C-alpha cells in the first residue's frame, strides 16, 4: 500500500460531516479508531508494535542480525525496548477542534510510506527505524499540549498530568483507563529514550513561506517560545432586561477588553496572541453571564517578548475587571521555552537532501511540536511540507499530493542516511 491508499484509509476517521474538520480527541472513539488504523498499518508492514506507558504508539522496523555487530542490535531490539541508536520519525494523530487532515497524520503516514519506499529500493538499515504516534499533542482535550511526549521525557510531573481534566470533568486517568491503558504507569521512560539516536518529525508547514521560496520541503530552524493561559472572569448572573447598567457585574465586558488587548500587545511587540476558546456561563441569551472563561495563546520570537505580551494582556484584564466589578484570575496551563533544533543533525539532513538534489530552506515556526519536546532529551529535527494557502488548525489545511510524495522522498532520504551504515 503506497502513500495515497494509506492516506485515504485514515481520512474518514473522526471527520465531522458538517464542517469537514477533524475531532480526534485523545482517548475518545475516533482516537481509538486512529490507533487501530496505526496498528493495522504497522502490522501490514511486519513492524513490531509497542504502546509505551504514556500511551504513545511505536512501530519498529528492526534490521535482521548480521555478523558485524548487527546481532547485538537485534538482540536488544527483541526485548521491550528498541536498540541503541534507533532512528525515529512520526508525529501525532489527535486534532484540534475541527482541525485539518494534515497536522500530525501527514508525519505518520509519511513515516510508513518512507519505510515502504526504502524497502522498494532494497535499503537495509543497520539501526532500527521507528514510527511514533504521540498522544494528546494538541492538548485539545486535557489542555496541555504535547502531553504524551512531555510525560515520556519527564517534562511534566505524572501527578500533575493525572490531575488534568477535560471540559466534562473527566480526569486523565479515567479517560486512559477507559481506553484500556494503565494510568498508574504514566511517567518518564529513560530506557526507551536511551535507545533512540535521533527523532525526525515531518509536518505540514503552518504558514506559506515554502510557496514563496518555490520549495516543496523545508527544514525547521527553531520554535518560538509559546504557552496557554486560562483567564477566569467571575461576575454576577442577572436579568438582561431588568438589571440597570450601573448595577451589573458583567464578566463579558473585561473579557472583551482582554481580547482587544491581546491583539494590541501582539501587534506592539511583533508577537502573536489569540483568544480562540471562550466559555460563557451559564450561557443564556437573555441573561448576564455569571462567569466567562477564556484561553489566551501567546507566542513570540523570544521569552522576554512573550513575558511582556502576557503581562500587558493580564494587566489590562485586571484593570478592566476592577472597573466592571468582576474578579479575574489567571493560570498558566502550558509553556514551551524557545527551542533551536540540533544544528549538527539539521546540517546532516541538509547535506543528505542536497546530495539527492532536494533543496530544503530553513524555517522558524510559532507552532509547537513533539520534536520540540523531545529535543530536550535527543537530537531532533523537522521537515516541513509546503502548504499553499498556509492555513492550518482548520478544515482548509492542505498540501498537494505531489508535495506529500516529495515529503516522503525527503523523509526516506534522511532515514536512509541516519539509519544506514
Ligand atoms: C500545535 O499545533 C500548536 O502549536 O498549538
Ligand atoms: Mn497542531
Ligand atoms: Mn502538529
Encode 259-293 in three state secondary structure. HHHHHHHHHHHCCEEEEEEEEEECCCCCEECCEEE
Nearest-ligand number for the alpha carbon of 96:
2
**Alpha-carbon gap, residue 130 to 198, rounded angstroms:** 10
The alpha carbon of 414 and the centre of ligand 1 are apart by a number of angstroms equal to 24
Q: Which atom of ligand 1 is nearest to the CA of 369?
A: 1
pLDDT tens for the chain, 421 residues: list them: 689 999 999 999 999 999 999 999 999 999 999 999 999 999 999 999 999 999 999 999 998 875 544 444 444 444 445 557 999 999 999 999 999 999 999 999 999 999 999 999 999 999 999 999 999 999 999 999 999 999 999 999 999 999 999 999 999 999 999 999 999 999 999 999 999 999 999 999 999 999 999 999 999 999 999 999 999 999 999 999 999 999 999 999 999 999 999 999 999 999 999 999 999 999 999 999 999 999 999 999 999 999 999 999 999 999 999 999 999 999 999 999 999 999 999 999 999 999 999 999 999 999 999 999 999 999 999 999 999 999 999 999 999 999 999 999 999 999 999 999 8
Query: CB 348: neighbour CB atoms within 10 A?
Result: 17
Q: Which atom of ligand 1 is nearest to the CA of 226?
A: 4
**Alpha-carbon gap, residue 380 to 130, rounded angstroms:** 14
Residue matched to cell numbers 479575574: 328
Do residues 333 and 234 touch, judged by C-beta distance below 8 A? no
The alpha carbon of 126 and the centre of ligand 1 are apart by a number of angstroms equal to 34
**Alpha-carbon gap, residue 240 to 284, rounded angstroms:** 9
List CB contacts of 106: < 8 A, sequence separation 6 or more.
91, 202, 203, 204, 385, 399, 404, 407
Decide: pTM greater than 0.85. yes
Q: Where are the beta strands (DSSP E) in 62-194?
A: 86-92, 129-134
Q: Is the dihedral of CA 351, 353, 356, 359 positive or negative?
A: negative
Nearest-ligand number for the alpha carbon of 99:
2
Nearest-ligand number for the alpha carbon of 139:
1
- Quick one: cell of 317? 484584564
Query: CB 136: neighbour CB atoms within 10 A?
Result: 31
Pocket of ligand 1 (CB under 6 A): 138, 145, 367-368
Q: Which atom of ligand 1 is nearest to the CA of 367?
A: 4
The alpha carbon of 191 and the centre of ligand 1 are apart by a number of angstroms equal to 28
Amino acid at each position: 500500500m503506497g502513500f495515497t491508499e494509506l492516506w485515504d484509509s485514515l481520512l474518514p476517521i473522526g471527520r465531522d460531516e458538517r464542517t469537514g474538520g477533524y475531532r480526534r480527541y485523545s482517548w475518545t472513539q475516533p482516537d481509538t479508531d486512529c490507533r487501530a488504523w496505526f496498528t493495522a498499518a504497522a502490522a501490514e508492514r511486519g513492524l513490531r508494535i509497542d504502546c509505551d506507558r504514556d500511551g504513545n504508539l511505536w512501530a519498529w522496523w528492526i534490521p535482521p542480525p548480521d555478523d558485524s555487530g548487527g546481532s547485538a542490535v537485534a538482540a536488544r531490539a527483541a526485548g521491550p525496548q528498541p536498540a541503541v541508536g534507533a532512528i525515529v520519525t512520526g508525529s501525532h494523530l489527535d486534532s484540534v477542534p475541527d482541525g485539518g487532515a494534515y497536522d500530525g497524520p501527514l508525519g505518520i503516514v509519511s513515516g510508513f510510506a518512507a519505510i515502504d519506499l526504502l524497502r522498494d529500493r532494497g535499503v537495509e538499515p543497520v539501526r532500527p527505524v521507528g514510527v511514533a504516534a504521540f498522544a494528546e499533542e494538541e492538548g485539545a482535550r486535557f489542555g496541555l499540549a504535547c502531553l504524551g511526549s512531555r510525560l515520556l521525557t519527564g517534562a511534566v510531573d505524572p501527578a500533575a498530568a493525572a490531575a488534568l481534566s477535560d471540559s466534562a470533568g473527566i480526569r486523565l486517568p479515567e479517560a486512559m483507563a477507559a481506553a484500556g491503558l494503565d494510568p498508574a504507569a504514566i511517567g518518564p521512560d529513560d530506557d526507551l529514550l536511551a535507545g533512540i539516536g535521533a527523532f525526525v518529525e515531518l509536518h505540514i508547514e503552518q504558514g506559506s513561506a515554502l510557496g514563496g521560496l518555490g520549495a516543496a520541503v523545508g527544514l525547521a530552524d527553531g520554535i518560538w517560545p509559546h504557552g496557554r493561559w486560562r483567564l477566569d472572569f467571575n461576575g454576577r448572573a442577572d436579568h438582561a432586561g431588568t438589571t440597570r447598567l450601573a448595577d451589573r457585574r458583567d464578566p463579558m465586558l473585561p473579557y472583551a477588553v482582554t481580547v482587544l488587548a491581546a491583539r494590541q500587545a501582539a501587534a506592539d511587540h511583533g508577537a502573536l496572541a489569540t483568544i480562540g476558546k471562550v466559555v460563557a456561563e451559564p450561557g443564556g441569551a437573555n441573561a448576564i453571564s455569571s462567569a466567562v472563561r477564556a484561553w489566551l495563546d501567546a507566542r513570540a520570537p523570544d521569552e522576554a517578548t512573550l513575558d511582556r505580551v502576557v503581562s500587558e494582556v493580564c494587566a489590562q484584564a485586571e484593570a478592566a475587571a476592577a472597573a466592571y466589578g468582576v474578579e479575574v484570575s489567571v493560570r498558566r496551563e502550558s509553556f514551551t521555552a524557545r527551542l533551536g533544533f540540533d544544528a549538527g543533525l539539521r546540517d546532516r539532513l541538509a547535506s543528505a537532501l542536497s546530495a539527492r538534489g532536494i533543496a530544503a530552506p530553513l524555517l522558524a515556526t510559532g507552532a509547537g511540536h513533539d520534536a520540540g519536546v523531545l529535543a530536550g532529551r535527543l537530537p531532533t529535527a523537522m521537515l516541513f511540507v509546503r502548504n499553499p494557502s498556509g492555513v492550518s488548525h482548520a478544515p482548509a489545511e492542505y498540501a498537494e499530493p505531489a508535495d506529500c510524495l516529495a515529503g516522503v522522498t525527503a523523509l526516506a532520504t534522511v532515514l536512509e542516511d541516519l539509519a544506514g551504515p
